[in-house]
Amino acid sequence: MVLVPVADALDRLLAGAAPLPGESVPLAEAMDRVLAEPIRALRTQPPFDASAMDGYAVRAADIGTLPAHLSVIGTAPAGHGFTGTPAGGEAVRIFTGAPLPAGTDTVVIQEDTRDLGNGAIEVVEATAHGANVRKAGLDFAEGDLLLEKGRLLDPAALALAASANHPYLSVVRRPLVAVIATGDELCTPGSELAPGQIISSNAYGVAAVAHSIGARTLDLGIAADRKDDIATRVRQAVAANAEVLVTLGGASVGDLDLIHDVLTGEGMTLDFWKVAMRPGKPLMSGRLGAMRCIGLPGNPVASLVCSQLFLKPLLARLGSRPYRPDMREARLGAAMAANDRRQDYVRARVREEAGVLTATPLGVQDSSMLRRLADAEGLIVREPFAPAAEAGVGCHVLILR
């Protein structure tokens, strides 16, 4: 049996994958979305010369010699500019954000003045010409390019878009992942189990992987070990216009491993089936029309490892999100035996001391043992036919958390 190398399988899975089209969403719903179009300013900010402090708007020429006595002829609160034009020797009480009155060019902060009563103040500290004034366009001018296409929208970017007067943003559509678990033995969490039954856990982990890279998920439930039931759910995924269909279990070669036959019967073109990796050998990939199909193994650790290695980068590509596996150099914390023809992903504890990472395998690596995966900070990656290695030898580790 020919097994596809991991790198080749990933290349084939990603071939032709491109960012999805854009959609317009309200600004309040755009957090953690990716811009499909650049953002340009629809206005100038600030749109006028504005006070940066609470104080007094004055002419710099009137406070060149201290102490300077000025008459206060009005008030300029934020949102309500002073409509008059102060003459020489006159000042306007002004608050942060208010437009600078015509004819004034400087703001003296209130701490640098003394109230003389009867509408008069004394300026007692020197203030430079133009001090405490935000000039019109200080932040940006109408038409300026503010955010590039492909920007992942964070709080600062959203606030900037709002300030530029954009109520809606064009963002890349989030990929929809339809998930079908298969197996007569599976029950949902919280169920009372009959003899021979187990709890279905894979769908929750796979959905979490999808959500971590910005995708949406559609849980199509647990299909019985019957071709008609599986086919019905596959058709639901097609009807929902899912970009990706993930099936869980049933992708091997046993009598009840029905996924291959069902998907090909529904029109899927198989790309590859079985990858030279451990855990995860039964991984399957193909296309059903525009929908990409990934058949994940039923063993929970294999399902989650394959989701990290294959599903996550695919969804990142479709969602136009930056993604690079966190692969680091480390040293082994324990000896490891020679490897066979499959690439191993070994659950490991990862510790750092004096800037050096140590990755220690977590004993038994059975692919049903989710607790070991939850305890692991990383996966030691061992190439096919890697020789036996002693503790302290260099290795590569894929960081999970």
Q: Which amino acid is at 37?
A: E
What 3 state SS string does 275-315 have?
ECEECCCCCEEEEECCEEEEEECCCHHHHHHHHHHHHHHHH
Q: Mean of the pLDDT values across residues 245-273? A: 88
Confidence (pTM): 0.89
From 134, 157, 189, give the residue that closes a domain: 134
Exposure string for 351-382, b = 16+ CB within 10 A, e = fewer: eeeeeebbbbbbeebebebbebbeebbbbbbb
**32 shares a domain with 85:** no
Residue holding tokens 């260099």? 394
217-249 per-position pLDDT tens digit = 999 999 999 999 999 999 999 999 999 999 999
Residue 218 belongs to domain with CATH number: 3.40.980.10
* Contact (Cβ atoms closer than 8 angstroms) between residue 330 and residue 357: yes
Asked, for residue 61, whether it belongs to a domain, the answer is yes
In whole angstroms, how far apart are CA 390 and each of 71, 332, 334, 348, 380? 85, 7, 7, 15, 14
**pLDDT tens-digit profile of 241-254?**
999 999 999 876 66
> How far is the C-alpha of 381 from the C-alpha of 109, rounded, in Å?
63
* Count: domains in the chain: 4
Looking at residue 153, what DSSP letter applies? P
149 and 164 part of one domain: yes
pLDDT band at 347 (very low <50, low <70, confident <90, very high): very high
Length of the chain: 401
Range of the domain at 337: 327-399
Please, which pLDDT band fits residue 175 given cuts at 50, 70 and 90?
very high
Q: Are strands 68-76 and 120-123 parallel, antiparallel or unpaired?
A: antiparallel
Same domain, 265 and 293: yes
194 shares its domain with 301 = yes
The pLDDT of residue 256: 57
Half-sphere exposure of 193 (CA within 13 A, CB side): 13
The pLDDT of residue 2: 84
